[in-house]
Amino acid sequence: MPTPHTILMHMDETARMGERIRFARMLSESLDADIVCRPCSMPGLMPYPLALGAAAPAVQAMRAAQEASRDKLYRLFTEYGGGSPRLHWIEPDSAAPWDFARHAFYADLMLLGQRDRHDPMDPLLPADFLPNLLMQSGRPAVVFPYAGKAGPIGRTVLVAWNESRESARALSAALPWLRTAASVHAVTYGGDVQQPLERLRAFLHAHGVADPRLHASGHDGDVGNQLLSLGADLGADLLVMGCYGHSRAREWVLGGATRTVLESMTLPVLLSH
């Protein structure tokens, strides 16, 4: 994948939004990319559908809540964006959040936030917003964790590898960071892992990644926690992995490793479905 030129960032009212904007500014400078900042959450009273039968007062309250949300996010954008000419504010639209994937079609990369179920603003998004967005848009995303400080990414990168379409797409999306990283690590789990790792080494060499360090484990249980533990041991600042899941009864059901990483991540994760 070429270096991203246009990045779409999801904005919401969760506690980490300011840090996500700060992170976006650093990302835009390191990639020489433009970032479109689009607010997106459930409108006003949508979490409380019974209130919608209250006619005019309910509609007024909804509009007031929408305006307050917009003003709060714009203040955060101004404060944490630091006046960067690469960050572009987009006014919220009435179709959010269900239409957000359509906007992602016009971006090279998305910047999203990890869900924090203890955050009081978390219910303002559908429960499956993030996986649904990844799977419907087909675009890769960097997911920013709700814990830890915003810092540069791409000096020490850990690639979770298996021979799958999702892994291959995530690997391609990560190439701009892999080429410039000080240290690249790749790990695979399961039985016959040596040949896939050697094929991966050859692919990375062909794309200018000089000396990837390969890790293999025959133990393929609880892969999500194994990945996060290895990332911590290596001091990784970016984890690259495929996003696995499927649709069941109109809800996206994530694979075990993907679900564990999205729930427990402590570093930015580049995901692709």
Q: Do the beta carbons of residue 189 and residue 220 sit within 8 Å?
A: yes
**Closest to 183 measured CA to CA, from 158, 202, 205:** 158
Same domain, 173 and 214: yes
Same domain, 168 and 236: yes
Same domain, 100 and 208: no
Same domain, 122 and 160: no
Domain boundary among 144, 172, 204: 144
Same domain, 43 and 17: yes
Same domain, 140 and 208: no
In a domain, 236, yes or no: yes
- Please tell me the predicted confidence (pLDDT) of residue 252: 46
Residues of the domain holding 254: 156-272
Domain boundary among 91, 123, 144: 144
Same domain, 44 and 136: yes
Same domain, 164 and 113: no
Burial degree of 244 (CB within 10 A; 0-12, 13-18, 19+): buried
Same domain, 18 and 137: yes
Same domain, 58 and 140: yes
Same domain, 100 and 220: no
In a domain, 171, yes or no: yes
In a domain, 149, yes or no: no
Q: What is the pTM of this model?
A: 0.88
**Cis? peptide before 152, omega within 30° of 0:** no
Same domain, 136 and 22: yes
Alpha carbons 130 and 238: distance in angstroms, whole number: 18
Q: Would you write out the chain's pLDDT as a tens digit for each of its 273 residues?
A: 678 999 999 999 999 999 999 999 999 999 999 999 999 876 544 444 544 455 567 667 777 878 888 899 999 999 999 899 999 999 887 656 667 888 999 999 999 999 888 888 887 888 778 888 888 888 999 999 998 777 899 999 999 998 889 889 999 999 999 999 999 999 988 777 788 899 999 999 999 998 899 988 766 678 888 899 999 999 999 999 988 765 554 444 456 788 888 888 999 999 997
- Please tell me the predicted confidence (pLDDT) of residue 89: 96
Alpha carbons 269 and 246: distance in angstroms, whole number: 20
In a domain, 96, yes or no: yes
What's the domain count of the chain? 2
In a domain, 1, yes or no: no
Residue 15 belongs to domain with CATH number? 3.40.50.620
